[in-house]
Structure 1
Amino acid sequence: MSSTRRDFIGQVGLTSLYFGLGASFSKDFFLHSATPLPRSTPAAQGVDASKILSFIHAIQQSKHEFHSFMLLRHGQVVAEGWWAPYAPDLRHTLYSMSKSFASTAVGFAVMEGKLKVSDPVVKFFPDERPASVSPELAKLTVKDLLTMSVGHEVDTSQAMRTEENWVKSFLAFPFKHQPGTQFLYNSGATYMCSAIVQKVTGQKIVDYLKPRLFDPLQIADMDWETCPKGINVGGWGLRVKTEDLAKFGQLFLQKGQWNGKQIVAPEWVEEATSFKIQQPAPEKPSRPNAENDWLQGYGYQFWRCRNNAYRGDGAFGQYTIVMPEQDAVLAITSESPNMQGQLDLVWEHLLPAFAPASASISSVNQQLQTTISSLALPLETKQLPSNWVKKISKRKFQLENNDMGLQNIRLSFSKGKCVVDLAGEKENYTINCGMGSWKTGETTFPGNELVVKPVSRASGIRLKKIAANGYWKDENTLEMTWRYIESAHNDVVTCHFSTEGIKISFVNSRVKLNPNNKDVRPELKGTLILG
């Protein structure tokens, strides 16, 4: 490492390198210096449209549920699409893709001389440190947090989220290894990065990033979950739009420049995205290590990829993939059971699209546009006849006592629509459900949290955008899909009717993807109220 880079990472003082940082930030400067991402065509940017088309076809034939993608080449959007009912104006829960934004907040604090990555973590929390500080905890640095090499045996985030004071919980965790020596994916480490930035700046990182990152990139309406102490959780819980992910990737591809201005120091971009530590290989690998995108090294909350690319990623398939050699960026939101499989599709179909393209074929371009404009998730439109519609419409079912606190349910049917009214102990909920089509709305129904379960004792998001569709699966069974369209997930709600009453089951898509998921709700039972 050069002495210049070493000084930047260890002692930094780049305050005067670009535009004064900190006190000299100007809101007007940022708002007027940024412009939306420009649009172009694949051919104009040297991209083979047929390869993008094959990528989409491969998605449709796979088990991956994509919600959106946006592909950039030379800073231009050459292809973008959303699978209905997802749409460009909707945010999407990023899960661990949030970590790369949290890392960038640390970068700004380093650039402004507020901290160094070599700083010991306990330095920032004199009131939360254990009475006896172990040698390992004393050695733990900000860099160890950023590189997921804390030295713990397990991810601390699960245990932390049951406590009121997450910082204190993290600092009390025992060590198995010396800090900086062993990689272990640890969302608690990212939370601590967020807590440190808030400690030295006096701002939550979502607010700290606003004038430094979000405003110049014209990223608006973002929100980020907080812990009980009002600290952004860092390692998950951020929501932004697909284009915002693409902008973030393009900023890093451009070495921190945006509209001719240096937003992030190029030294930080290089340091954050370059190899820092090797992930341990599995004992029984399913593929050669060289073909595993989770074994290419880790930076500062960024993963290295095959093909000399790097990425931020989040559970169920939220991505910002930066491909420097191709001068390209790919943003994806989705719900997938196999994130490696998604990356395989990218390398198989999109990587060849950047090779010197043959003459553009207008029919392929038109076919691509037609395909993109018709993207939609499977929608059940069949409507079997059921005598229950007339028997139960607008009538209430009294529900037995249940953990969800629901007291009764009423279903009101009209042409092409079913309105579901749920009465709770403290709150009532209404879901407008299309019969053969999506009906969109908002709800505070607690069936599916966008970020983490309420047991986490973190501040989540109550009002959720929802798209709902239903159909009669058979004479006695109404099946509805409730998609929480600013998250990756959905509930399949099944109502089975009989002379004894109603039985209602809720199955969340997270449970389908992960059989070990414990978020399983019991079946509800109810009887029709007479009169």
Structure 2
Amino acid sequence: MATENATTCAHQKTKMMEYKNMVKRGLALCGLLSLLSCGGHKPQFVGKPLLKHDSVQQTGYDTTKLSALSQFIKDSSRTTGMVVLYDGKVLFEYGDVSQVSYLASCRKSILSMLYGKHITNGTIDLNETIGNLGIEEDDGLLPIEKQATVDHIITARSGVFHLPANGGYDTRNVKTRGSVKPGSYFLYNNWDFNVGGAILEQYTGQSVYKELQEQLAIPLGFEDWNLKNQKKKWNKRKSRYAAYHIYVSPRDLAKMGQLMLNKGKWNDEQLIPKSWVDQSTSMVTPVDTVNARNGWTHNDMPQLSYGYMWWLLESFKDNADYEGAFSATGWGGQFLTVIPKRKLVIAHMTKMDKLSLWGFHYKGVSDLTYWKIVDRLMQSQTTK
């Protein structure tokens, strides 16, 4: 009888644990659905459409190959919107380019853009320590962690191995807190990036989203922007600093890429200092370190280094035309790639609302698939 009661009790505990896990999964799904459901508000203002090439043939691209590219995207990916600009005008479009969606980690590269003018005019001091700025956590930051500078924060080299408010960071290479000197160790940790957003807000006195609107959305003539679509993700049990998630459309994302290709200039106005465009897209963390952190080899493609919240293409299929190229990359298929030698900007997105209820795994577009798309695009140009 005692054995029977013990078995029943154990069975009840197992059922209760299963129920609790089911509730947790349900709450997590609701939270994720809430996070990904932003983007429903209509455009806040009338923007300015991108110009289109009158003739694709005159650009040196093969229309047959571009058609084949569209078919490849349809057959091989879950791309929902893609815009390619060549020499400042639309060369190629796929899907709904006006659909507003979650940018994932591409937000970090946009934050880098927003830092530019404030660094140049002296509002932001890259050498200031986070300790002096009052950056702190409820469980406390160590004295050595408080020595990290703003520069270390926005190059992912702070040495602060604190949990961020959101996931999607490199958990494999986290070290013991206080074990490294700030600036000496690269770790793709969302704590750094979230604090980077908080630092911008502290220095400027307004939100990341207001900065984005004033610095980029209005002067670039975004067509699908609305401040109400923007939403931070908080988890104060983990960290005081929220993730500043950004929601834009492919065609508005493409405009930001064109601004970077233009070295920060738009319609004769220098929106981002050229010096910052050059500095932010210059290597800080080399390929070998990036490969080591990710378990990649020199046979993997492309070979990437890291700058100020931009991924830099050091080599790709031994094609010299990729020299100087850089990219923003986000979970599930969000990309913004600039290839200066080809005068190309590629904005690629997937609508982040298609979830598999069994395991909650989103089937977006992998990095490998995206770079196959880019490679086919490059091969579509027959004359330069």
With the length of structure 2 as denominator, give the TM-score of the two structures. Answer: 0.71
Kindly indicate which of the two structures has a greater share of residues assigned to strand: 1
Higher Cα radius of gyration: 1
> Is 1:224–1:232's contact at 8 Å kept on the other side of the alignment?
no
Q: Is the 8 A contact 1:242 1:333 kept in 2?
A: yes
Counterpart residue identity of residue 195, structure 1:
A
* 1:203-282 equivalences in 2 (<5 Å): 203-219=206-222, 220-222=225-227, 223-228=229-234, 233-234=243-244, 237-278=245-286, 279-282=289-292
Equivalent pair of 2:333/2:367 in contact (CA under 8 Å): yes
Q: Give the Cα–Cα distance (whole angstroms) in 2 for the partners of residues 35 and 190 of structure 1.
A: 31
Q: Distance in 1 between matches of 2:283 and 2:369?
A: 23
Structure 1's 289 and 105: CA in aligned 2 closer, same or farther, altered over 3 A?
same
Q: Which residue of 2 aligns with 1:193?
A: 196
Partner-residue secondary structure (3-state), 1:350: helix
Which residue pairs with 1:150 in the alignment? Answer: 158
* Distance of aligned partners of 1:112 and 1:232 in 2 relative to their CA distance in 1, 3 Å threshold: farther
Deviation at 1:132, TM superposition (A): 7.1
Q: 1:396-429 deviations in whole A, cap 9, x for unaligned?
A: xxxxxxxxxxxxxxxxxxxxxxxxxxxxxxxxxx
| Corresponding letter in the other structure for 1:332 | H
CA root-mean-square deviation: 3.0
- 1:48 to 2:62 alignment: yes
Distance 2:243 2:57 in 1: 42
Letter in 2 for 1:351: M
SS at match of 1:95: coil
* Amino acid in structure 1 at the alignment position of 2:191: G
1:123 aligned counterpart, secondary structure? coil
Taking the aligned partners of 1:116 and 1:48, their CA distance within structure 2 comes to 48
Unaligned runs of 5+ residues in structure 2 are 1-44, 169-175, 317-321, 351-362
Aligned residues of 2:338 and 2:345 also touching (Cα < 8 A): yes
Name the counterpart of 1:302.
310
What displacement does 1:314 show?
0.6
Q: Is the 8 A contact 1:152 1:184 kept in 2?
A: no
Q: 2:148 aligns to what?
A: 140
Figure out how many residues of one structure are paired with residues of the other and give that number: 304
Q: Can you list the C-alpha shifts for 1:242-294, whole angstroms capped at 9, x where unaligned?
A: 101100000000000001111100010111112111243259956x425433x
Q: CA deviation at 1:186?
A: 1.1
Structure that is richer in helix per residue: 2
Alignment of structure 1 residues 378-397 onto 2, 5 Å: none
Q: Does residue 182 of the first structure (1) align with residue 185 of the second (2)?
A: yes
Q: CA deviation at 1:56?
A: 2.0
The CA deviation string for residues 363-394 of structure 1, in whole angstroms up to 9 with x for no partner, is xxxxxxxxxxxxxxxxxxxxxxxxxxxxxxxx
1:352 aligns with 2:379: yes
* Conserved? CA contact 2:290–2:304, under 8 Å: no
- Indicate whether 1:319 and 2:360 are aligned: no
Tell me which residue corresponds to 1:92.
101
The change in CA–CA distance for 1:65 and 1:39 in structure 2 (over 3 A counts) is same
Query: How far apart are the structure 1 equivalents of 2:243 and 2:138?
Result: 19
SS at match of 2:196: helix
Structure 2 counterpart of 1:114, one-letter code: T
Work out whether residues 74 and 327 of structure 1, in 8 Å CA contact, stay in contact via their aligned partners in 2.
yes
> What secondary structure sits across from 1:119 in the alignment?
coil
- Tell me the residue number matched to 1:341: 369
| Larger RCO: 1 or 2 (CA < 8 Å, sep 6+) | 2
Residue identity over aligned pairs, in percent, reads: 23
Offset at 1:205? 1.0
Deviation digits for residues 40-84 of structure 1 (CA, Å, limit 9, x no counterpart): 13223222223322222222332x2111111111101011121xx
Alpha-carbon distance in 1 for matches of 2:138, 2:62: 56
* Conserved? CA contact 2:163–2:191, under 8 Å: yes
- Structure 1 range deviating more: 197-206 or 48-57: 48-57
